[in-house]
Amino acid sequence: MLFQVQMEVRIPHDVPVDRAERLKREERERAQELQKSGIWRHLWRHVGRYANTSIFDVGSAQELHDILSTLPLFPFMEISITALCRHPSSVHDGDQ
């Protein structure tokens, strides 16, 4: 199943800088791991914001939730999710 996931990160100002930097580094490592595995298929940054739009390919909504909750910045994210399915007019065979 494909899901569009929009994430907006809001790290509170009272989080120590060294902790915030560590979390960002761990977040990048986890995101890259999920991308290499094929689960996190696409990742785009929103211009001018600490936010992204991503496409995840997972077996269920519960699996997506479980994966998102492993992200180090998860406690500081506002997330919106849209389930996706192939459009009958799409010319791309790989759309699922």
Residue 55 structural domain: 2-76
Using CA atoms, how far residue 2 sits from 18, 57, 71, 83, in Å, is 35, 5, 19, 6
pLDDT digits 0-9 by tens, 50-75: 999 999 999 999 999 999 999 999 99
Range of weakest confidence among 5-19, 29-43, 52-66, 77-91:
77-91
- Do the domain assignments include residue 96? no
Q: 11 vs 93, which has greater pLDDT?
A: 11
- Do the domain assignments include residue 28? yes
| Count of domains observed in the chain | 1
Q: Are 29 and 35 in contact (CB under 8 A)?
A: no
- Do the domain assignments include residue 24? yes
Average pLDDT, the chain: 95
